[in-house]
Chain A
Amino acid sequence: MNSPDNNRTEQMEIDASAKWPVLFIFAHALAWLIVGGALELAAAIQLHTPTFLATCEWFTHGRLAPAASNALVYGWGFNAAFAFGLWLMARLSATTLRHGGWLFVAAKFWNVGVFLGVAGILAGYSTSFELLEMPRFVTFLLLAAYALIGVWGVTTFSIRNTENVFASQWYLFGAAFWFPWLYAIAQIMLFRAPVRGVMQPVVNAWYVHGLYGLWFVPVALAAAYYLLPKILGKPISNYYLAPLAFWWLAITTAFAGGSRLIGAPVPVWIPTLGTVANFMLVVPVVLIGLNLFGTLAGRYASLKGSVSLRFVFISLLAFVLASALNFAFSLRDVAEVVQFTLLSSLRDWLIFYACFSTAMFGAAYFMLPRLTGLEWRSPALVKIHLGATVLGTGLLTLGLAWGGWTQGHLLADPAVGFTDLSKAMTFWFTVRTGGLALLLLGHVAFLVNFIWIAWPFDSRHTAPAQINPPPALEVLKA
């Protein structure tokens, strides 16, 4: 083992090599977070105030809603995952991020692809498949750009200078392969050589569920597995269960997508298999809970002093809640009520935002000062971001759950007309708008702090970070 001082210099080298590619990608991620958040907010407003932007063809709801989700998922989500994933992979592989120039090229291609895709959706060229709405011509651009970035992650792992591999690396490495697998197969089976009839929604559901469960969740878990021992100075508890959880999660998630199609006119074994996969997923969720909440146990006081840990804690709660919802929604009796309501959008939102995005915020608060060598200039803005996230997440979770349940019962009641239903739901759609606006406020606060720390001209007056060399982790005696 290296002495702490040696260690520190090595890590500084790694951070220096990763600095510009990661900052470049993360800046794009944040830009998309703001743009996507604004589009999402506008789409949400239209649901209770239908006249909003209704005269502008480009911003009608049918275009705005998919543009928002694509901007957030492919713009914010993927860029954030790339930035954090590449940095953590380099850190844990104890090797510098080499030939970073190519990453700029790849990231630029990716973002041009997302831009063209979102603009294409707004211009009316969208396809009819959820999360694959981007016009066909950007597909190749995205896949090629992804290939370059994914290869960087994998190569960094393969030239690692460490004997051992940590759980975060499994998840990053796995996700690096799962996404292109899902995306390529969905593209081929839906666009290049489309499967017939009812198989199309099956492929689509499989892709959407896989994207959340095999791309965003693993990256969020990688962050949690890394940040908890890193900041608490305490090993993951019951770590011997982690490999089981990893494999079980990976294998069963790939089968779980069918549960989105309960009641749909597809061969009945497909939703049934999805339901069974969701039964099975209880096991890895419990194991991961034992790992991560077990590590936090007895150290909840540390949450007070650490903004990263607080974000990770929100992420963990959301992970458990989203898994519980996935389980509940795959039961046929529950699905009867919640399908096509705010509750089914809550499930996806929980995974993407409350689990994945908050984990990325937590990681960013840890990672960015190390990359830039500067500290966050405004703790007040950090607090605003955290507060907005807590309030917004809580509001949206409760609002969408309660509103969705009401909506489901009204939808199932033949005596309630659709106009009455819309009127009854206005309140809940307004709540949703409020929650999204709160989150957007937090994102703006984060952006300002990011500019102060990362933008060359604005960061000149930010204080340099005093990073203390951390002690070595020790095995706890039981």
Chain B
Amino acid sequence: MSAEPDKNFRLEQACATDDSIQQVHAQLQKTKPEKTGGYPLLPLGILGLMCAAVFFGSIYLAHNSIRFDPLVYNEHASRDKPGAQKIVPLTRAQLGKKVFDVTCIACHQANGLGLPGQYPPLAGSEWATGSEERVIRIVLHGLNGPIKVEGKDFNNVMAPLGEALKDEQIANAISYVRASWGNNAPEVTPEAVAKVRAETAGRKTYWTAAELEQVK
């Protein structure tokens, strides 16, 4: 290339022939840069860029295309399919059925009536639907000895379940009992269970009906 710039403003000289440009580039097109130890950064970076573009593109498309619906003109429109059922979260009582069916059902039975003379009923029971403080204690530490339920006497042992079940499971199961078979008592929260568990942390033995009468 000429040293005088003015000369180049009159005429641009070429520094490569056309056919050599083609030949060299045809060769270059086939040869990727040689690997000189380690990972070549450029191809990796490009691969990363391609993946990022496809990834963000897909997410954006999924969020803003609204099912490619020809009648939706606004990206803030509802994303649900027309006629789709809204997902309704299960109540504590509904969740508790699972715990009840595994843990309590053997004695108290699926209908909540227990076994006459053996296991007391839960349906209509003043213990089950009464003070949550009492019923939580029974589940946590078990119950031993005579107890009067719905005017009938029972004398049996209920195993402690505080170690086996988490607070949430206990709360769910009790809520299920308090809302089933005609029972209509407020549900019990895991926080309430945790509170009682903390208050009675030192207790190692079963409750008796007489002791529980002391708890309001």
Q: Which residues of A contact B (CB under 8 A)?
A: 1-2, 4, 7, 11, 91-92, 94, 162-167, 226, 229-236, 238-243, 265-269, 272-273, 275-276, 279-280, 282-283, 286-287, 290, 302, 304-308, 332, 365-366, 369, 375-377, 379, 382-383, 463, 465-475, 478
Q: Are A308 and B12 in contact (CB under 8 A)?
A: yes
| A163-B26, A265-B73 given; 17 more Cβ-contact pairs under 8 Å | A7-B18, A94-B19, A231-B15, A240-B30, A242-B29, A267-B68, A267-B72, A267-B73, A268-B72, A272-B64, A272-B75, A273-B61, A280-B54, A290-B42, A376-B9, A379-B6, A472-B20
Question: Of B26, B50, B64, which is within 8 A of A275 by CB?
Answer: B64
Q: Are B23 and A1 in contact (CB under 8 A)?
A: yes
A167, B28: Cα distance in complex, Å:
12
Q: Which residues of B contact A (CB under 8 A)?
A: 1-2, 5-6, 8-34, 42, 46, 49-50, 53-54, 56-58, 60-61, 64-66, 68-75, 77
What residues of chain B lie closer than 8 Å to A475, measured between beta carbons? Answer: 24, 27-28
A265, B74: Cα distance in complex, Å:
8
Q: Are B28 and A239 in contact (CB under 8 A)?
A: yes
Q: How far is the CB of B41 from chain A (nearest CB, A)?
A: 12
A176, B212: Cα distance in complex, Å:
92
Q: Are B65 and A268 in contact (CB under 8 A)?
A: yes
Look across to chain A and name the residue whose beta carbon is closest to the beta carbon of B27.
A475
What residues of chain B lie closer than 8 Å to A235, measured between beta carbons? Answer: 21, 24-25, 28
A306, B1: Cα distance in complex, Å:
9
Look across to chain A and name the residue whose beta carbon is closest to the beta carbon of B9.
A379
Q: Are A4 and B17 in contact (CB under 8 A)?
A: yes
Q: How far is the CB of A82 from chain B (nearest CB, A)?
A: 20
Contact residues of B: prevailing secondary structure: helix
What residues of chain A lie closer than 8 Å to B56, measured between beta carbons? Answer: 279
Q: How far is the CB of A306 from chain B (nearest CB, A)?
A: 6
Look across to chain B and name the residue whose beta carbon is closest to the beta carbon of A164.
B26
Q: How far is the CB of A282 from chain B (nearest CB, A)?
A: 6
What residues of chain A lie closer than 8 Å to B20, measured between beta carbons? Answer: 1, 472-474
Q: How far is the CB of A406 from chain B (nearest CB, A)?
A: 27
Look across to chain A and name the residue whose beta carbon is closest to the beta carbon of B23.
A164
What residues of chain B lie closer than 8 Å to A163, measured between beta carbons? Answer: 22-23, 26
What residues of chain A lie closer than 8 Å to B5, measured between beta carbons? Answer: 304-305
Q: Are A241 and B17 in contact (CB under 8 A)?
A: no
A377, B27: Cα distance in complex, Å:
39
Q: How far is the CB of A262 from chain B (nearest CB, A)?
A: 9
Q: How far is the CB of A370 from chain B (nearest CB, A)?
A: 9
Can you identify 12 A-B contacts, CB atoms within 8 angstroms? A1-B20, A94-B18, A163-B26, A165-B22, A235-B28, A269-B66, A280-B53, A283-B46, A286-B49, A307-B8, A383-B9, A475-B24
A333, B31: Cα distance in complex, Å:
43
What residues of chain B lie closer than 8 Å to A283, measured between beta carbons? Answer: 46, 49-50, 53
A379, B119: Cα distance in complex, Å:
110
What residues of chain B lie closer than 8 Å to A465, measured between beta carbons? Answer: 10-11
Q: Are B54 and A478 in contact (CB under 8 A)?
A: no
Q: How far is the CB of B58 from chain A (nearest CB, A)?
A: 8
What residues of chain B lie closer than 8 Å to A231, measured between beta carbons? Answer: 12-15
With A268-B74, A376-B10 known to touch, is A472 a contact of B61 (CB < 8 Å)?
no
Q: Which 5 pairs, one residue from A and one from B, show the smallest C-beta to C-beta distance?
A: A233-B15, A164-B26, A379-B9, A472-B20, A473-B16
Q: How far is the CB of B127 from chain A (nearest CB, A)?
A: 58
Look across to chain A and name the residue whose beta carbon is closest to the beta carbon of B18.
A91
Look across to chain B and name the residue whose beta carbon is closest to the beta carbon of A468.
B13
A116, B141: Cα distance in complex, Å:
97
What residues of chain A lie closer than 8 Å to B31, measured between beta carbons? Answer: 240
A469, B30: Cα distance in complex, Å:
28
What residues of chain B lie closer than 8 Å to A473, measured between beta carbons? Answer: 16-17, 20-21, 23-24
With A280-B57, A307-B8, A376-B9 known to touch, is A269 a contact of B49 (CB < 8 Å)?
no
Q: Are A239 and B22 in contact (CB under 8 A)?
A: no
Q: How far is the CB of A171 from chain B (nearest CB, A)?
A: 14
Residue with the highest number of chain A CB atoms closer than 10 Å, among B6, B34, B57: B57
What residues of chain A lie closer than 8 Å to B24, measured between beta carbons? Answer: 229, 235, 473-475
Question: Of A233, A243, A376, A469, which is within 8 A of B11 by CB?
Answer: A376
Q: Are B72 and A471 in contact (CB under 8 A)?
A: no
A470, B11: Cα distance in complex, Å:
14
With A230-B21, A279-B56, A280-B53 known to touch, is A470 a contact of B13 (CB < 8 Å)?
yes
A332, B77: Cα distance in complex, Å:
15
What residues of chain A lie closer than 8 Å to B65, measured between beta carbons? Answer: 268-269, 272-273
Q: How far is the CB of A197 from chain B (nearest CB, A)?
A: 11
What residues of chain B lie closer than 8 Å to A162, measured between beta carbons? Answer: 19, 22
What residues of chain B lie closer than 8 Å to A469, measured between beta carbons? Answer: 17
A124, B26: Cα distance in complex, Å:
52
With A7-B17, A229-B21, A266-B73 known to touch, is A467 a contact of B61 (CB < 8 Å)?
no
What residues of chain B lie closer than 8 Å to A1, measured between beta carbons? Answer: 19-20, 23
Look across to chain A and name the residue whose beta carbon is closest to the beta carbon of B64.
A272
Question: Of B2, B13, B64, which is within 8 A of A467 by CB?
Answer: B13
Look across to chain B and name the residue whose beta carbon is closest to the beta carbon of A8.
B17
What residues of chain A lie closer than 8 Å to B23, measured between beta carbons? Answer: 1, 163-164, 473
With A267-B69, A475-B27 known to touch, is A470 a contact of B16 (CB < 8 Å)?
yes
What residues of chain B lie closer than 8 Å to A375, measured between beta carbons? Answer: 10-11
Q: Are B11 and A466 in contact (CB under 8 A)?
A: yes
With A272-B65, A276-B61 known to touch, is A238 a contact of B10 (CB < 8 Å)?
no
A466, B20: Cα distance in complex, Å:
21
Look across to chain B and name the residue whose beta carbon is closest to the beta carbon of A237.
B28
A465, B10: Cα distance in complex, Å:
8
Q: How far is the CB of A92 from chain B (nearest CB, A)?
A: 6
A168, B163: Cα distance in complex, Å:
76
Q: How far is the CB of A295 from chain B (nearest CB, A)?
A: 11
What residues of chain B lie closer than 8 Å to A286, measured between beta carbons? Answer: 46, 49
A305, B58: Cα distance in complex, Å:
47
Q: How far is the CB of B47 from chain A (nearest CB, A)?
A: 10
Q: How far is the CB of A75 from chain B (nearest CB, A)?
A: 26
Q: Are A305 and B17 in contact (CB under 8 A)?
A: no
Question: Of A290, A307, A377, which is within 8 A of B12 by CB?
Answer: A307
With A267-B72, A273-B65 known to touch, is A279 a contact of B17 (CB < 8 Å)?
no
